[in-house]
Amino acid sequence: MSDIQLHRIAHARSGDKGNRLNIALICYRPEFFDIVAQQVTTERVAELFSSRKVGRVQRYELPKLWAFNFVLDHVLDGGVNASLGLDGHGKTLSFKLLTLPVSLPASLLQSLLTDQS
């Protein structure tokens, strides 16, 4: 097993509703779905966003799209109307999720390297 950034195996997009953020996390390939399901848990996501005082984190699974939808409460400092931050919508935060390390079995890691050569 080797640690890589989630960014290598998945892409993501943020959306906001008030003080709630959703991050769609989409695996580049179906074989990554189980790895993300096992490793990108709501606990780990809550930990990643802990400095921002995140509340409840929910995870929805969409296997037909090789995707997950993460919903993070209270993570936007009040939301776009109230936040003092530069990115009140939290649009950049999809890429914060993609910094999360995940472990990949050697076989899958090898195929990842072949892809990119």
Partner 1 sequence: MPATTVHIGAGAGFAGDRPGAAVAVAEALAVASRQGIPAFLIFEMLAERTLALAQLDRRRDPATGYSANLTGLVQPVLKLCLQHNIRIIGNFGAANPQAAAHHLRVLAQDLGFRDAKIAVVTGDDLSARLTPADLTARETDGALLKDRKDIVAANAYLGAQPIAQALEAGADIVVTGRVADPALVLGPLAHAFGWSWDDWDRLAAGTLVGHLLECGPQVSGGYFADPGCKDAPDLDRLGYPIAEVQADGKAVITKPAGSGGVVDLRTVKEQVLYEIHDPAAYLTPDVILDLTEVELAQQGPDRVRVTGARGHARPATLKATVCFEAGWFAEAEISYAGPNATARARLAIDIIRKRMAVLQPDLSIRADIIGVVSSFGDSAGHDLAAATTEADDLRVRFATRHTDADVAKLLLAEVEALYVAGPAGGGGVRRHLVPQLASASCLIERDLVSPSVELAP
* CA–CA gap between residue 78 and residue 84 (Å, rounded): 9
Which segment (21-29, 34-42, 101-109) binds partner 1 by CB under 8 A? Answer: 21-29
Which contiguous run of DSSP H or E holds residue 106?
Answer: helix 106-116
46 binds partner 1 (CB under 8 A): no
Which segment (33-41, 90-98, 105-113) binds partner 1 by CB under 8 A? Answer: 90-98
Q: Rounded to an integer, what is the distance from CA 81 to the centroid of its chain?
A: 24
Among 4, 37, 71, 108, binds partner 1 (CB under 8 A): 71
31 binds partner 1 (CB under 8 A): no
Q: What are phi and psi of 34, to 5 degrees?
A: -65, -35
Q: Count Cβ atoms below 10 Å from residue 34 Cβ, excluding itself.
A: 11
Which segment (9-17, 29-37, 38-46, 101-109) binds partner 1 by CB under 8 A? Answer: 9-17
